Chain A
Amino acid sequence: MKLSDLSESSLRDRLAGEGLTLRIAPVAARIRSEVPAVAEGLRLHYADYELLDGEAFCDFHIRISPPANLRRWFRRQVRFLHDGISPFEPMPWEHAFPVFEWGLNWCMANHFHQYLMIHAAVIERADGRAAILAAPPGSGKSTLCAGLVARGWRLLSDELALIDPRALTLTPIPRPISLKNESIEVIRRFAPAAVLGSVSHDTHKGAVAHIKPPRESVRRAAEKARAAWIVFPRYQAGAPAEPKPFLKARTVLRLAENAFNYAAFGETGFRALVGLADACGCYEFSYGDLGEAVRVFDALPAGER
Chain B
Amino acid sequence: MKEDLVSAALAEPGMLAQCSLERWDRLIRQGRAARLLGRLAVLLEQAQLLASVPEAPRRHLVAMRLLADQQRIAARREVLLIREAIGRTGVPVILLKGAAYTMAELPVAEGRAFGDIDILVPRVALADVESALMLAGWASIHRDPYDQRYYRQWMHEIPPMQHLRRGTVIDVHHALVPPTARIAADSDAMRSACIPLEGLPGLFVLAPADMVLHSATHLFMEGEFDAGLRDLADLDGLLRHFGRDPAFWTRLGRRAREVGLLRPLFYALRYARESLHTPIPAALMREAEAGAPSAALRPLMDFCFRRALRPKHHTCANAWTSAARWLLYVRGHWLRMPLHLLAVHLARKAFKREESTSSAPEAALRR
Contact = CB atoms under 8 A, between A and B. Distances in A.
Nearest to A101: B361
A68 to B, nearest CB: 13
B56 A59 contact: yes
Nearest to A204: B360
A9 interface: no
Interface string A78-113: 000001100111000000000100110110011111
A114 B61 CA distance: 10
A191 B356 CA distance: 43
B66 A57 contact: no
A91 to B, nearest CB: 8
B12 to A, nearest CB: 21
Interface in A190-226: 204
B359 A88 contact: yes
A88 B360 contact: yes
A88 B29 CA distance: 20
Interface stretch (A245-253, A258-266, A287-295, A297-305): A258-266
Interface residues of A, number: 31
B313 A114 contact: no
B362 A137 contact: yes
A114 B63 contact: yes
Given A106-B361, A204-B360, A264 B70 contact: yes
Nearest to B59: A114
A56 B21 contact: yes
A57 B63 contact: no
B356 A266 contact: no
Contact of A89 (B28, B56, B359): B359
A28 interface: yes
Contact of A102 (B22, B70, B358, B361): B361
A260 B56 CA distance: 22
A61 interface: yes
Nearest to B359: A88
A263 B28 CA distance: 24
Nearest to B24: A57
A260 B365 contact: yes
A28 B67 CA distance: 21
Contacts of A24: none
Interface in B15-36: 21-22, 24-25, 28-29, 32-33
Contacts of B70: 264-266, 268
B74 interface: yes
B66 to A, nearest CB: 6
A65 to B, nearest CB: 15
B62 interface: yes
B60 interface: yes
A133 to B, nearest CB: 18
Interface string A263-278: 1111010000000000
10 contacts: A56-B21, A57-B21, A57-B24, A83-B313, A89-B360, A111-B60, A112-B59, A113-B67, A260-B366, A266-B74
Those 4 A-B pairs whose CB atoms lie nearest each other, nearest first: A102-B361, A113-B63, A57-B56, A57-B21
